[in-house]
Amino acid sequence: MAVILSKPEYEASIAASRDRRMAWWREARFGMFVHLGLYTVLGRHEWAMAIENWPVQEYEKLADQFQPKPGAPKEWAKLAKAAGMKYMVMTTRHHEGFSLWDSKANPYNSVNYGPKRDIVKEFVEACRENGLRIGFYSSLMDWHHPDGGAAAYDSAARKRFNDYIYALNEELLTQYGKIDILWYDVPEPMQNWEGWNSLEINQRLRAIQPDLIIDNRSRLDEDFGTPEEHVTAEKDRDWEACMTFNGLSWGYVDAAQVSPYSYNAQRILRMLAICAHGGGNLLLNIGPAPDGSVPPEAVEPLTTVGKWLAQYGECVYGKVDRISDTWGYGSGICSISIKGNTVYLWNWIWPKSGDFTVGGFTTRLKSAKVLGSNVNLKFTQEKYRILFSDVPREPQDKIAGVAVIALEFEEKPVFLRFPARPPLIDGKIYS
């Protein structure tokens, strides 16, 4: 093992390789999160063990009932691909401590108990078959391990627990070929990176997988931020919003009961618009049912989103220009994303009046067309606004009712903050 770098040296070294390691991730925009574990059998939140205070030996018995069908990961991966997602992240071991792979470090696993299969292996193969990048979610907290709590105050227990966490992730990163993302979660009970030995552990793990991308939940900043249950751009760093499908639970909950809370295609597209606007990613979760199947409430919306992306993907994928200063275009009836000279106007409500106006851009507009169609829009341009006329009155998107207009400017578009427009006096606007 090479020398362990100091924190500043380590951070400089990962910053230096970040553009290379994250090039694909920054263009991918959309991934699938999958929460599967023994909690799936209970079907009432992945924290059930803690919330309901299950004794460990009693909870362990759930393993016998945990029987996801062979090939279930193929079903998830096919859906992810059809949805236009580019990567997947699966819970290899959640807080309950049950590993879904053939682990030597943790005999409490899906090869020794329950399905007697290596679900991680099935997951990896399914991702590869569908051309999806691969991420491993790995909890730091462990409610099953005898040192998982004592590590907080007993240094011998902490040492054993740190070694255990390293051993688990070492297995995951050596047994399955190239892995793209290590997605840590919940660094409890230790409150700093020293307590987790994250500086050393992460360096050793990166030595196994030099292209690895690591999230920010091991009490080190690492590669990207993880806003949870809200889609909010993070300043000056890469970010990925992780979202449940229903605002209630990451693990499976009876589909019929959660359906009223679940996202439809339009809500998912709105989340994607914020990601494309702010240059982040969306990691949208499914919690497969006990038999491993995808909950029906996720299938239709995701399939619709995939069809939409097949037509309009240009405004979502690839290198976007991050925008922070477009008041009114982040969350109103139009959203925008920008790539170079092109502004994509996402129309949540189609202007049925036959005309509409866009304010704020002062750059000369060259052309305006409905993305994925031959419809070019007529316009005239004043200093502070662009007026479109003879706009087809019927909504221009048949897939999800969200048409995108590509506005191609002569140069990189300049946007003036509202209300930087008439009737303000010209000179004052720029002063």
Q: Considering beta carbons, is residue 144 or 343 the nearer one to ligand GLC?
A: 144
- H/E segment holding residue 24: helix 7-28
Residue nearer to ligand GLC on the CB measure, 163 or 234:
234
In terms of CB distance, is 98 or 344 closer to ligand GLC? 98
Three-state secondary structure string covering 253-316: ECHHHHHHHCCCHHHHHHHHHHHHHHCCEEEEEECCCCCCCCCHHHHHHHHHHHHHHHHHHHHC
Question: Is residue 280 classed exposed, middle or buried when 0-12, 13-18 and 19+ CB atoms within 10 A define those classes?
Answer: buried
Question: Cβ 97 to ligand GLC, closest distance in Å?
Answer: 13
Name the residue nearer to ligand GLC (CB basis): 24 or 47: 47
Radius of gyration of the chain (CA): 24
Q: Which is nearer to ligand GLC, 39 or 66 (CB)?
A: 39
Residue 420 exposed, middle or buried by CB count within 10 Å (0-12, 13-18, 19+): middle
Of 219 and 407, CB closest to ligand GLC: 219
Q: How far is the CB of 58 from ligand GLC (least distance, A)?
A: 20
For residues 215 and 110, give the distance between their C-alpha atoms in angstroms, rounded to a whole number. 25
Report the half-sphere exposure of 279 (CA within 13 A, side-chain side): 17
**Is the dihedral angle over the CA atoms 97, 197, 177, 80 positive or is it negative?**
positive
Residue 58: how many CB atoms within 10 A of its CB?
9
Closest distance of CB 252 from ligand GLC, Å: 13
Residue 183 CB, shortest distance to ligand GLC, in Å, is 8
Q: Could you tell me the smallest distance in angstroms from the CB atom of residue 186 to ligand GLC?
A: 5
- The residue with tokens 């989340």 is 271
Q: How far is the CB of 192 from ligand GLC (least distance, A)?
A: 18
Cα end-to-end span (Å), the chain: 58
49 or 365: whose CB is closer to ligand GLC? Answer: 49
Q: How far is the CB of 422 from ligand GLC (least distance, A)?
A: 46
Neighbours of 378 (CB within 10 A): 11
For helices 119-129 and 72-82, the axis angle rounded to 10 degrees is 30
Give the nearer residue to ligand GLC in terms of CB position, either 43 or 351: 43
Cβ nearer to ligand GLC, comparing 186 with 424? 186
Nearest Cα neighbor of 178 from 127, 237, 245 is: 127
> From the CB of 354, what's the least distance to ligand GLC, in Å?
45
Q: Please say whether the dihedral angle defined by the alpha carbons of residues 398, 400, 402 and 404, taken in this order, is positive or negative.
A: negative
Shortest Cβ distance from residue 53 to ligand GLC (Å)?
16
Residues making contact with ligand GLC (CB under 6 A): 46-47, 185-186, 228, 242, 250
